[in-house]
Amino acid sequence: MTDALAPGSVIGILGGGQLGRMLSVAASRLGYRTHVYEPGAAPAADVAHALTTAAYDDAAALRAFAESVDVITYEFENVPAASLDLLESIRPIRPNRRALAVSQDRLSEKEFLAGLGLRTAPFANVETEADLPAALERIGAPSILKTRRMGYDGKGQIRFKDPGQRDWTGAPSVLEGFVTFSGEISVIVARAADGAVAAYDPGLNVHEGGILRTTTVPSGVNQGLVTDAVLLAARIVGALDYIGVMGVELFVTPAGLVVNEIAPRVHNSGHWTQAGCTVDQFEQHIRAVAGLPLGDGKRHADVVMENLIGDDMDRLPELLRAPDVQVHLYGKAETRPGRKMGHVNRIIR
């Protein structure tokens, strides 16, 4: 195994949102400090040891950041390649650059998964608006056009109800055929530098408006699919020589599991582990990137995780009074529609 970071070492985190915030808390419990690099507002800075506020193209700031830390990880995968080149010349980046390259581009991700023999939705590259008619003829409708880069929480997506529709995202995109599924589950999986893998039970996800609303564990799918999901996730992280935690979203279909997408970081659908496991996904990620042994992913409680989005914050007093509810707020001052303000983990008795 990679030599473990000594207590007091500094873990650099690219991105200062809520995931970086919770990673920083987990790192502190293990005796590490964190240094967050974020161009904009940084809720993670409230609990981090240090903060650099600078653009991703600020070479001097990137260099100073890298030289101040012992290893670099990220909560936000869309960091420019040139920035990563500079950072990696100074300190190791975990998970590695290949995982980022695959996940930053939806087309690369689909091709990578297909290359492993895994099932995905039918897809076609739509480099320009002129490519759209041929893609629609091939994939058909209903389908969904997604920007190849930067889309999340339903952003950068257009739904096509008929093949004559000609809306355009304005950027290189992928057209995906709809998959008939009974539910979406996600697996949170971790891999250490020595190849050890630990996975959490799959959770059942419910989305509203393209944003995750709840994740419920256990998922209710049969044990055969649970095993398939975990083995599939382990196969993906092994193929990428991955170090850290990854979220793998899967559609449950009559023909088996179809991979929706992968996220090379801790994942919203893994927040339930904070209440349901001894070692949650955030500590697991810190353990992996720091070279520590992975923790046991065994679940000791049934949990429903619910995102607090926008005006859900009005429910905060009742949630704080409710039994068996764990409240996590992200320190964001402004409430906006569609903005994730926090989440709650409810233990199911």
306-333 pLDDT per residue, tens: 999 999 999 999 999 999 999 999 999 8
Q: How many percent of the chain have pLDDT more than 70?
A: 98
pLDDT for 1 beyond 50: no
Report long-range pairs for 90-94 (Cβ below 8 Å, ≥24 apart): 90/63, 90/66, 91/12, 91/66, 91/67, 94/243, 94/244, 94/288, 94/289
pLDDT for 151 beyond 80: no
Q: What integer pLDDT is reported at residue 209 of this predicted model?
A: 87
Give me Rg for the CA atoms of the chain. 20
User: In three state form, how does the secondary structure of 108-155 look?
Assistant: HHHHHHHHCCCCECCEEEECCHHHHHHHHHHHCCCEEEEECCCCCCCC
DSSP letter (8 states) at residue 311: G
The C-alpha atoms of residue 289 and residue 309 are separated, in whole angstroms, by 30
7-44 pLDDT per residue, tens: 999 999 999 999 999 999 999 999 999 999 999 999 99
pLDDT for 2 beyond 60: no
* Average pLDDT of the residues of the chain: 95
Task: Give just the sign of the alpha carbon dihedral 20, 21, 22, 24.
Answer: positive
pLDDT for 242 beyond 90: yes
Q: How far is CA 306 from CA 61, 208, 347, in A?
A: 37, 12, 11
CA-based max dimension of the chain: 60
Name all domains of the chain by residue range, CATH numbers in brackets. 10-93 (3.40.50.20), 122-177 (3.30.1490.20), 183-348 (3.30.470.20)
Q: How far is CA 80 from CA 14, 59, 112, 184, 285, in A?
A: 11, 12, 20, 30, 22
DSSP letter (8 states) at residue 263: E
105-148 pLDDT per residue, tens: 999 999 999 999 999 999 999 999 999 999 999 999 999 999 99
Residue with tokens 């689909």: 110
* Residue 139, Ramachandran bin (φ over 0: left; ψ between -120 and 50: alpha; else beta): alpha
CB 319 within 8 A of CB 325: yes
- Where residue 174 falls among pLDDT bands split at 50, 70, 90? very high
